[in-house]
């Protein structure tokens, strides 16, 4: 059985490796519409919601609580976003540790199992850590267990690309026996691992 709580810690810890290496916050990333700064702003935005939603808040209630913080993210500099990330990392981890496997959470499309929301958040953290690292010329490895779990999540949750507004079409050629689970997962989200990291 996949220990998603442990994988959430692993995925969050990737940022301890990635963020100190950022020297160009305006660099292009594999997430084609976003710069490095914008990717991190998205990551922080997503994480800010977690404690309130896991505490039972609705999307509207948590949105009201976060209104000022989310507004500030739009104009925050890269270093300011790093501080925001560091301030939210521990509360998010604590919120997940206090959440039961059978709990449900309010998300944008209704009530969802907390364990599904957790897997979604681990996926988001891992992929965007790779986006940021790649924009700075780093080839970020996730570790075997995280790679396998994210790939399985992508295969089941993103089958046939149900959210084309969020992901480009899958990049072909990354499903052979010699392809790492990380690269296959990334390719399924429309990212080309052969074109990154940037040099």
pLDDT at residue 164, as a whole number: 53
* Domain with 153 in it: 4-18+33-193
pLDDT classification of 158: cutoffs 50, 70, 90:
confident
CB-based contact 21:132 (threshold 8 Å) = no
Tell whether 155 is covered by a domain.
Answer: yes
Tell whether 198 is covered by a domain.
Answer: no
Q: Which residues contact 73 (CB under 8 A, 6 or more apart)?
A: 41, 44, 45, 81, 84
Question: Domain holding 162: CATH number?
Answer: 1.20.120
CB-based contact 22:136 (threshold 8 Å) = yes
- Looking at 26-35, 37-46, 156-165, which range is the least confident one? 156-165
Average pLDDT value for residue range 90-113: 93
Range list of β-strands (E), 82-136: 104-107, 110-113
pLDDT classification of 162: cutoffs 50, 70, 90:
very low
pLDDT at residue 65, as a whole number: 95
Distance between CA atoms of residues 104 and 53, nearest Å? 9
Tell whether 24 is covered by a domain.
Answer: no
pLDDT at residue 1, as a whole number: 79
- Looking at 45-49, 80-84, 105-109, 137-141, which range is the least confident one? 105-109
CB-based contact 197:136 (threshold 8 Å) = yes
- As for how many domains the chain has, the answer is 1
pLDDT at residue 199, as a whole number: 60
Give the pLDDT confidence of 78-87 residue by residue, as tens digits. 999 999 999 9
The residue written with tokens 């953290």 in the block is 125
The residue written with tokens 């040099």 in the block is 199
Distance between CA atoms of residues 73 and 37, nearest Å? 10
């Amino acid at each position: 059985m996949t220990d998603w709580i442990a994988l959430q810690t692993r995925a969050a810890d990737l940022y301890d490796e990635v963020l100190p290496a950022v020297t160009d916050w305006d660099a292009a990333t594999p997430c084609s519409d976003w710069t490095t700064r914008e990717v991190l702003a998205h990551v922080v935005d997503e994480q800010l919601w977690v404690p309130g939603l896991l505490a039972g808040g609705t999307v509207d209630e948590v949105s009201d609580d976060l209104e000022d913080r989310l507004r500030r993210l739009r104009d925050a500099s890269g270093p300011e976003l790093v501080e925001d990330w560091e301030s939210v990392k521990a509360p998010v981890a604590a919120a997940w540790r206090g959440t039961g496997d059978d709990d449900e959470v309010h998300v944008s499309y209704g009530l969802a199992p907390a364990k599904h929301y957790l897997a979604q958040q681990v996926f988001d953290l891992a992929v965007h850590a790779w986006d940021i690292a790649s924009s700075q010329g780093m080839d970020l490895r996730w570790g075997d267990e995280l790679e396998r779990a994210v790939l399985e999540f992508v295969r089941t949750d993103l089958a046939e690309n149900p959210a084309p507004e969020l992901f480009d079409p899958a990049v072909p050629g990354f499903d052979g026996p010699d392809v790492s689970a990380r690269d296959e997962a990334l390719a399924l989200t429309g990212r080309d691992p052969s074109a990154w990291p940037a040099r």
